[in-house]
């Protein structure tokens, strides 16, 4: 009898201490616009961005099939690495080395074979022929 009474008191105390459950709002599934850009979900804070260097030539790479990828780096002394996507708003011209500023846009629930973020051009800081 005492065990049942103690169990009831403990359960009552635990129930009284818990916060009432509030149903979460349903998630809105966002779709890309006509150009394939997803609406921003989480972006870099105002004023924050990434600075990239883009090489003067593309390199062969393998995505869905053979293609050419931009070569990028985050610091002028780093090795070039392949970018298997695109930079929205950036119009690459062969023979030009670019320093650019981009914003990063996270994509909610991307397809399994797609990246979880997109880069969007903010500005071209510099460009010169190589």
Provide Rg for the chain, Cα atoms.
25
Residue 42 lies in a domain: yes
- Supply the range of the domain harboring residue 88: 33-129
- 8 belongs to a structural domain: no
Tens of pLDDT, residues 17-56:
545 544 444 334 455 666 666 555 555 455 468 999 999 9
**Beta carbons within 10 angstroms of residue 24's beta carbon:** 6
Count how many domains the chain has: 1
User: Which distant-in-sequence residues (6+ apart) come within 8 Å of 72 by Cβ?
Assistant: 52, 53, 54, 55, 80, 81, 82, 83
Q: For the segment 65-110, what is each residue's pLDDT rounded down to a tens digit?
A: 899 999 999 999 999 999 988 999 999 999 999 999 999 888 888 8
Q: Answer yes or no: is 106 within a domain.
A: yes
| Backbone φ, ψ for residue 125 (5° rounding) | -75, -45
**Predicted structure pTM score:** 0.63
């Amino acid at each position: 009898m005492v065990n049942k009474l103690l169990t009831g008191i403990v359960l009552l105390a635990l129930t009284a201490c818990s916060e009432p459950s509030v149903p979460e709002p349903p998630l809105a599934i966002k779709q890309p616009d006509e150009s394939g850009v997803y609406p921003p979900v989480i972006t870099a804070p105002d004023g924050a961005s990434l600075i990239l260097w883009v090489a003067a030539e593309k390199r062969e790479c393998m995505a869905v099939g053979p293609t050419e990828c931009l070569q990028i780096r985050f610091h002028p002394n780093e090795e070039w690495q392949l970018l298997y996507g695109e930079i929205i708003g950036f119009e690459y011209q062969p023979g030009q080395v670019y320093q650019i500023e981009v914003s990063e846009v996270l994509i909610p629930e991307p397809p399994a074979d797609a990246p979880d973020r997109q880069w969007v051009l903010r500005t071209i800081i510099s460009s010169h022929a190589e």
